[in-house]
Amino acid sequence: MLTQTPTSDPVASPFLTDDHLEIRQMVRDFALSEVAPLAAELDEKKRFPSETIPKLAELGLLGVPWPEEFGGAGLDYRAYTIVVEELSRVCGTTGITVAAHTSLGTGPIMNFGTEEQRRRWVPSLAQGEHLGAFALTEPGAGSDAKMTRVTAIQDGDEFVVNGTKIYCTNGTHANSIVFTARTGGEVGDTSQISAFVVEKGTPGLDYGVLEDKLGLRGSDTRELVFKDCRIPLANKLGEEGQGFKAFMKTLEAGRISIGAMALGLAQGALDCALPYVKERKQFGKRLLDMQPVAHQLADVAMEVQAARNLVYESAWRKDQGLDFALTGSFGKLYASEVAMRAAHVGIQVMGGAGYTREYPVERILRDAKLCEIGEGTSEIQRMIIARNLDRHGTRP
């Protein structure tokens, strides 16, 4: 059986420094030696990567973009993007676990919390002692997040929370979960949506069953049920009524990591298919020497590199303090669709072998589909891009 190994280093990116390349090599080595051997089992058994998380924490990879004073590695968003890409290249479950913890579970506290809240929660999250999670989606509020129905009503020095969130990544493994709830007003009024943190073990917080998903099956995806769950006033993030805006900003940054995850999956599909078609012979010659196969892989390689440029430009813009909302949507949308095409082509050129679980490319196809849905579907990304065209035209 051929193993899934990097075909070669990608074309050098103008957005990465020598330090970034060193980080990439370190993460790549770890991913190949520690993560890849577990990937199939995590998928098959729907098992959370519990043994991998402490090792990632030891390497400082669970707090890459957060300041050292808060327990983080003090690196930039490009370094974090590298981490997600390289982990996802061999295991989508591990990639999304780290992405959800970092950009979604820790990001809102770091970016919108008070100094006291940052000191309280970020160090343990950044150092990997605890995992974080993010809960926005509800049964009646998916892409239309303003339809939040979970309520948080103040009662003395506490908020009483009631309602249900769904599709919470890291679910029961998270020690702290950031979520949105209505503090008043009518459903649909975003000015009455606030952000909160709830800690694991809080009375009134219950977990639903583990979702049985198409892909990313080792990722813990849970329903959260709040039943008269009381949390202190100090657990409200930012100003009351600013939660919707805070979460939309969080998703903008999160789209970079989903783009990185999709990019890693796409590269992983290429990593799997190319060695196979170089060795497999039919009609007396290698599959790679057959024009239909060669052209499909050439297109995938080109699209993967184009996706890489978009994703890393977005991360670079964020690091420079520039607006990255549009490029983030470009990268997330394009990379996720490239990941699906790369996996499809990988299976097609490998034929029957690609369709079996002997090779990871079928798992990549299942994992990649989430990238077209999570943190803003492809349809939502096109709406964002079209609105930008309406306002600013086509010139950069």
- Strands, DSSP E only, in the chain? 132-135, 151-155, 158-169, 176-182, 193-199, 205-207, 221-232, 236-237, 281-282, 285-286
List the one residue out of 16, 95, 10, 112 whose CA is nearest residue 49: 95
In this predicted structure, the answer to whether residue 205 has a pLDDT above a threshold of 60 is yes
Q: What whole-number distance in Å separates Cα of residue 123 and Cα of residue 68?
A: 9
> In one letter, which amino acid is 15?
F
pLDDT surpasses 50 at 3: no
For 147, residues 6+ apart whose C-beta sits below 8 A from its C-beta are 138, 140, 141, 187, 188
What confidence score (pLDDT) does residue 67 get?
97
Is the model's pLDDT at 44 over the cut of 80?
yes
C-beta separation of 318 from 324 below 8 A: yes
Look at phi and psi of residue 13 and say left if phi exceeds 0, alpha if psi is from -120 to 50, else beta.
beta
Residues sharing a CB contact under 8 Å with residue 312, sequence separation 6 or more, in sequence order: 13, 15, 16, 78, 81
pLDDT score at 11: 58
Q: Which pLDDT score is estimated for 12?
A: 62
3-class DSSP state for residue 227?
Answer: strand
Q: Are strands 221-232 and 205-207 parallel, antiparallel or unpaired?
A: antiparallel
- Asked if 98 and 153 count as a contact pair (C-beta separation under 8 A), the reply is no
The C-alpha atoms of residue 235 and residue 230 are separated, in whole angstroms, by: 10
Average pLDDT score over the chain: 95
DSSP, res 289: G
pLDDT at 13: 75
Top-confidence residue, 9 or 99: 99
d(CA 372, CA 65): 25
Q: Does the predicted TM-score (pTM) go above 0.85? A: yes
Determine the Cα–Cα distance for residues 295 and 190; give it in Å rounded to an integer.
49
**Average pLDDT of the segment spanning 76-87:** 98
Q: Which amino acid is at 99?
A: A
Q: Concatenate the DSSP letters of all residues of 265-282 into one string.
A: HHHHHHHHHHHHHHH-EE
Beta-bridge mates of residue 165:
224
Residues 250-289 have pLDDT tens digits of: 999 999 999 999 999 999 999 999 999 999 999 999 999 9
Mean pLDDT of all residues in 298-326:
96
Q: Alpha helices, DSSP H only, in 91-187? A: 92-99, 107-112, 115-126
Q: How does DSSP classify residue 147?
A: G
Residue 214 and residue 366 in contact, taking contact as beta carbons nearer than 8 Å: yes
Token pair recorded at residue 316? 């670079």
Average confidence (pLDDT) over 181-200: 95
**Cα–Cα nearest to 180, from 163, 205, 202, 200:** 163
The residues, any chain, with a CB within 8 Å of residue 144's CB and separated by 6 or more, are none
- What are the catalytic residues? 375
User: Which pLDDT tens digit goes with each residue over 121-179?
Assistant: 999 999 999 999 999 999 999 999 999 999 999 999 999 999 999 999 999 999 999 99
Q: Token digits for 357?
A: 């679980």
Per-residue pLDDT for 14 more than 90?
A: no
Phi, psi dihedral angles at 171 (to 5 degrees): 25, -110
Query: From residue 99, how far is each of 54, 232, 388, 393 by CA, in Å?
Result: 15, 27, 26, 32
* DSSP-derived pairing of the beta strands 285-286 and 221-232: unpaired
What local confidence, expressed as pLDDT, does residue 4 receive? 55
Band of residue 392 on the pLDDT scale cut at 50, 70, 90: confident
Reported as type and span, the H/E element at residue 382 is helix 378-392
Rounded mean pLDDT, 34-57: 97
- Would you state the pLDDT for residue 173? 97
- Predicted confidence at residue 52, as pLDDT, reads 97
207: tokens are 């977990």
Best CA proximity match to 145, nearest among 105, 103, 187: 187
pLDDT in the model for residue 9: 55
Q: Which of 51, 390, 391, 71 is nearest to 218 (CA)?
A: 51
| Tokens (6 digits) for 321 | 């303090």
Asked if pLDDT for residue 1 goes beyond 50, the answer is: no
